[in-house]
Structure 1
Amino acid sequence: MIILRLDRIMVERRMSLQDLAEQVGITQANLSKIKNNKVNAIRFSTLNKICEVLDCQPGDLLEYEPDHDQ
């Protein structure tokens, strides 16, 4: 299972959901879904822009967690 750790990076960078959404160019609702792991996919262009704005690497945002239920 891939976990998005956007919330952690946003706290470290002191970036609000509204500010990040504006700078990335997506709605707050869509960014909130990403932040709360409510998405099945993310566009590379969106990931690229998030990394650009937050000055981070994709690996800072993505974490693999084995799914023990299967």
Structure 2
Amino acid sequence: MGYLKYTQYVYILFAAYFVYDGFTKLSEGNDTSTLSFIIAGMAVFMFFFRRRFVKKFDERNKKQ
């Protein structure tokens, strides 16, 4: 289960990509820039959710 510690950072990479994508679409005048920002926000939320989940999982394993 060691890979769970590293998969949370994939969400940060996705968030950075979608923020970049949102700003490029915003500068071009596309209407779909808000969708990119929403996806980036969800990716940041998932990062913190997974981070909390991994900490709880580690604490549970330490108790056993």
Normalised TM-score (structure 2): 0.28
Higher strand fraction: Structure 1 or Structure 2? 1
Larger radius of gyration: 2
Compare relative contact order (CA 8 Å, sep 6+) and give the higher one, 1 or 2: 1
Normalised TM-score (structure 1): 0.27
